[in-house]
Amino acid sequence: MPQPLLSVQNLWVTYPQPESSQQLTHAIANVSFELAAGEKIGFVGESGCGKSTLGKAIMRLLPEHSRIEGQILFEGQSIPEMNAQAIRRFRGEVVGLIFQDPMTRLDPLMSIGNHCLETLQAHEPTLTKQQAKQRALDTLAAVKIPEERWNQYPHEFSGGMRQRVAIALALLLNPKLIIADEPTTSLDVRVSAEILRELTRLCQERQMGLLLISHDLATIATYCDRIVVMNQGRKEEEGTVEQIFGNPQAEYTQILLRSALHIQANDKVASLTSAALAQKKPILTLDRLQKYYTIETSFLQRLFTNAKTETIKAVDNIHLELYEGEIFGLVGESGCGKSTLSRTILQLIPATGGTVTFCGEELTRLSPAAMRAKRRDMQMIFQDPSASLNPMMTVGESIADPLVIHEINATPAETKAQVLAMLERVGLTPALEYFDRYPNQLSGGQQQRVGIARALITKPKLVICDEPVSMLDATIQAEVLDLMLELKREDNLTYLFITHDLWLARFLCDRIAVMNQGQIVEMGDTQQIFSQPQQAYTQELLAAAPLLTKQG
């Protein structure tokens, strides 16, 4: 048999422990696997299972004083035994790493072009500047970044575009292996499909190995040859896509699959049709709503290039109505205007034109003080729970904060009682134990439950959910969604649910609007959108979305 590209045998990883700790906790416990040239292997499991630790161990990026036992061999050479010069060459030239958060890879003070040139100059100093730039432009073009964006900076790119840059940087040196840690979590379905197709094509053409780490089982099933299921640092199961998804042996794998298939199943929870909703009174009406941004050109640009002021139509003449008690889905690619629309509804950013009417009151005319009071009835659940919680505030303080902001009169004892009751409602029990914890002492799913509790503490009528489960694992996603549905039934909530996950929208929403370039291009009952999409753009989105039920 040919020598494997990567061989990991009996690997144990232990992170540095505080002096007070009497017990070692293994982040990786006796994991073995091999990866051949040109092969694509996927690692799945919940957060904290050791997937990312494994990638860091292969790249020698673990924290100082971490303990490693076992073997990690690349083409027969021991990675832990490489000297500083060898490991520097190994990272980038031999193995490329794509991180989940592209901003951990990009320097905000460097242009995209300079990022590429710096990487090439560090590893291939014999290239001329013109050769290096051409190599960089070709690689950027492969991930759909046009040449005219060469001199732009990371903050001028959307999250999805920044991730494309990170992928281009990993591919720049033609590595033999790519380790991709949740590379498409922040990307919408079409861009995600394009990039993963490109990665898998390159694997085949260049005989490059791919180690894909993801909590998205459908993505792993679509693009990988073999799958390793991990749980609490251990390998639960390994096999081909057909074996793992067609006949899973481990109970943990079966639980993961049930959670993912539950969301992708066609027996959606939504039951309100357009006809039924027409009998209700709208709780929110948007009429010709606009949010335009103007990009001013400098005097020199106007003088030498005849450049004109450019207008970006982030939200362009939107009209829609939300009815009491419905779940309305808003889907589309990153940069299409979904999040801008939600912030314009809440008047966090002022509208350029049009009206927003909530419970019979036109919001764009309200004073800042009046609008602030109105937000008591309009709350938001954010995509990244860790970023939306103040790390210096306890859980109890974070949930109580809206009560203070909106001056909902209560004694400290009454406020604490309300917060403890809300913690119980969102499943953080015993509530007293969570009340004094800080966000960094919670898992991602627990942090999102705190975010939900904070949004609901003021008893709102409308909750805007901006990708509220996109960063969570399949089992945690199912738990959080079940919680949101239960709270909706109990309090007759109305949800505006923003997502790029089409199957999640099908599972959850009564009606769906599809956005593209600031406009709603199609809107209707969920079943109608999925069974009879009228617009080519909607059809393209549906075709690009990976579907787990295609397996087996």
pTM: 0.74
- Give every strand in the sheet of 327-331, ordered side by side: 378-381, 462-466, 494-499, 327-331, 511-516, 519-525
What pLDDT is stored for residue 18 in this prediction?
A: 61
Three-state DSSP at 53 gives helix
Maximum pairwise Cα distance, the chain: 74
Measured CA to CA, the distance from residue 177 to residue 73 in angstroms comes to 13
* 482-to-296, 365, 370, 404, 427 alpha-carbon distances in Å: 46, 37, 34, 29, 11
The alpha carbon torsion through 67, 73, 77, 82 (nearest 10 deg) reads -30
Structure tokens belonging to residue 542: 């549906």
Measured CA to CA, the distance from residue 258 to residue 236 in angstroms comes to 16
What pLDDT is stored for residue 267 in this prediction?
A: 54
Residue 112 φ then ψ, to 5°: -60, -40
What pLDDT is stored for residue 79 in this prediction?
A: 93
Three-state DSSP at 4 gives coil
What pLDDT is stored for residue 347 in this prediction?
A: 93
Amino acid in position 484: M
User: What is the Cα 517 distance to its own chain's centre?
Assistant: 20
Amino acid in position 525: D
Three-state DSSP at 111 gives coil
- Going by C-alpha positions, the residue among 514, 332, 443 that lies closest to residue 47 is 443
The answer to whether the beta carbons of residues 295 and 309 sit under 8 Å apart is yes
For residue 421, the tally of other CB atoms under 10 A from its CB is 12
The answer to whether the beta carbons of residues 217 and 261 sit under 8 Å apart is no
Q: What is the DSSP letter of 452?
A: H
* 215-to-8, 184, 260, 297 alpha-carbon distances in Å: 21, 11, 10, 43
Q: Beta strand pairing status for 77-78 and 353-358?
A: unpaired
Measured CA to CA, the distance from residue 502 to residue 495 in angstroms comes to 16
pLDDT digits (tens, 9 = 90+) for 429-467: 899 989 999 988 887 778 888 999 999 999 999 999 988
Amino acid in position 508: L
Structure tokens belonging to residue 406: 């909106």
For residue 76, the tally of other CB atoms under 10 A from its CB is 9
What pLDDT is stored for residue 238 in this prediction?
A: 94
Q: What is the DSSP letter of 317?
A: E
What pLDDT is stored for residue 270 in this prediction?
A: 52
How does DSSP assign 16-43, residue by residue? ---TT--S--EEEEEEEEEE-TT-EEEE
* Residue ranges in 469-535 assigned as alpha helix (H): 474-491, 502-508, 526-531
The answer to whether the beta carbons of residues 136 and 144 sit under 8 Å apart is no
Structure tokens belonging to residue 17: 């422990």
Low-confidence residues in the chain, pLDDT < 70: 1, 17-24, 101-104, 159-160, 185-186, 262-275, 278, 295-309, 547-552
What pLDDT is stored for residue 339 in this prediction?
A: 85
Query: What residues contact 276, with CB distance under 8 A and at least 6 apart?
Result: none
Query: What residues contact 221, with CB distance under 8 A and at least 6 apart?
Result: 227, 241, 245, 546, 548, 550, 551
Query: What residues contact 227, with CB distance under 8 A and at least 6 apart?
Result: 41, 42, 43, 44, 220, 221, 238, 239, 240, 241, 244, 245
